[in-house]
A and B are shown apart, each in its own frame.
Chain A
Amino acid sequence: MADSTRALARRGATQGSSVTPGSVTPWEYAPAPESALIGRIKPRYRMFVGGRFVDGRGGDQATINPATESELAQVSWASADDVDDAVRAARRAYDTVWSKMSGLDRGKYLFRIARGIAERARELAVVETLDNGKPIKESRDADIPTAAAHFFYHAGWADKLEHAGFGPHPKALGVAGQVIPWNFPLLMAAWKIAPALAAGNTVVIKPAESTPLSILVLAEIMQDAGLPDGVVNIVTGAGDIGSYLVNHPGIDKVAFTGSTAVGKKIQQSLAGTGKKVTLELGGKAANIVFDDAPIDQAVEGIVNGIFFNQGHVCCAGSRLLVQESVEDEVISKLRDRIATLRLGDPMDKNTDIGAINSAEQLSKITELSAAGDAEGAHRWTSPCPVPDKGFFFPPTVFTDVSQSMRIAREEIFGPVLSVLTFRTPDEALAKANNTPYGLSAGIWTEKGSRILGMAGALRAGVVWANTFNRFDPTAAFGGYKESGFGREGGPSGLAAYLDTDSDTADEGAA
Chain B
Amino acid sequence: MTLFRGDLAHRAGPDSAIGAIAMPCWCAQLHHICRVAALYDRGMGSPAPVALGDATSTRPPATSAASVAVPPRPVLPPHLAGVTADESALRRFLHGLPGVDPVGVESRAAALATRSIKKGSKLAALDLAISMVDLTTLEGADTPGKVKSLCAKARRPDPDDPSTPQVAAVCVYPDRVSIAAAELAGTGIGIASVATAFPSGRSSLSIKLADTRLAIESGATEVDMVIDRGTFLAGEYGRVFDEIAAIKAECGQTRLKVILETGELATYDNVRRASWLAMLAGADFIKTSTGKVSPAATLPVIHVMLQAVRDWRAATGRQVAVKPAGGIRTAKDAIRFLVAVHEVAGAEWLDPFYFRFGASSLLNDLIMQRRKQLSGHYWGPDYVTVA
A→B interface (CB under 8 Å): 1-3, 5-6, 8-10, 12-22, 24, 26-32, 137, 141, 291-297, 300-301, 325-326, 328-329, 332, 340, 349-350, 446, 466-467
Contacts and interface: CB of A to CB of B under 8 A. Distances in A.
Contact of A17 (B36, B99, B131, B350): B131
Contacts of B120: 1-3, 30
Given A27-B124, A294-B99, 20 more contacts: A2-B121, A5-B350, A6-B165, A9-B165, A17-B190, A17-B353, A18-B191, A18-B222, A19-B188, A22-B352, A26-B347, A29-B121, A30-B120, A32-B118, A292-B98, A325-B37, A328-B41, A349-B116, A350-B115, A466-B103
B202 interface: no
A15 B188 contact: yes
B316 to A, nearest CB: 16
Contacts of B188: 13-19
22 contacts: A1-B121, A2-B123, A3-B120, A8-B351, A9-B127, A12-B132, A14-B188, A17-B168, A17-B188, A17-B352, A18-B188, A21-B353, A22-B351, A24-B348, A24-B351, A27-B124, A27-B347, A141-B114, A295-B37, A297-B104, A325-B37, A466-B104
Interface in B215-241: 221-222
A24 B354 CA distance: 11
Contacts of A24: 347-348, 350-351
Given A30-B121, A446-B99, A350 B166 contact: no
A29 B116 CA distance: 8
Nearest to A34: B116
A291 B107 CA distance: 22
A13 B166 contact: yes
A16 B185 CA distance: 11
Contacts of A15: 188
A13 B351 CA distance: 10
Interface in B165-209: 165-169, 188-192
A466 B105 CA distance: 11
A15 B189 CA distance: 8
B128 A8 contact: yes
B11 interface: no
B353 A20 contact: yes
B339 to A, nearest CB: 9
Nearest to B254: A18
A296 B307 contact: yes
B142 interface: no
B306 to A, nearest CB: 10
Nearest to A140: B114
B93 to A, nearest CB: 15
B97 to A, nearest CB: 9
Contacts of A294: 98-101, 104
B148 interface: no
B127 A5 contact: yes
Interface in B123-159: 123-125, 127-128, 130-132
A419 to B, nearest CB: 16
B131 A12 contact: yes
A328 B40 contact: yes
Contacts of B98: 292-296
Given A22-B352, A349-B114, A350-B115, A17 B124 contact: no
A32 B221 CA distance: 40
Contacts of A293: 98-99
Contacts of B342: 27
Contacts of A13: 130-131, 165-168, 188-189, 352
Contacts of B41: 328
B108 interface: yes
A10 B166 CA distance: 7
A385 B232 CA distance: 46
Given A294-B99, A349-B116, A329 B37 contact: yes
A507 to B, nearest CB: 38
A18 B255 contact: yes
Query: Counting chain B CB atoms within 10 Å of each CB, which of A9, A328, A466, A467 scores highest?
Result: A9
B169 A17 contact: yes
Contacts of A29: 115-118, 121
Top-4 shortest CB links A-B: A18-B190, A297-B104, A2-B120, A5-B124
A18 B348 contact: no
A13 B133 CA distance: 10
Contacts of A3: 120, 124
B32 interface: no
B127 A6 contact: yes
A23 to B, nearest CB: 8
A283 B190 CA distance: 57
Contacts of A301: 104
A340 B340 CA distance: 12
B116 A9 contact: no
A458 B190 CA distance: 58
A9 B40 contact: no
Contacts of A349: 114-116
Nearest to B96: A292
Given A14-B188, A27-B342, A294-B99, A21 B124 contact: no
Contacts of A16: 188-190
B351 to A, nearest CB: 5
Contacts of B352: 9, 12-13, 17, 22
Contacts of B124: 1-3, 5-6, 9, 27
B329 interface: no
A446 B128 CA distance: 38
Contacts of A466: 101, 103-104
B114 A6 contact: no
Contacts of A292: 98-99
A69 B285 CA distance: 50
Nearest to B103: A467
A196 B35 CA distance: 52
B122 interface: yes
B169 A18 contact: yes
B160 interface: no
Contacts of B350: 5, 8, 24, 27
Contacts of A329: 36-37, 40
Nearest to A28: B121
Contacts of B121: 1-2, 27-30
B37 A21 contact: no
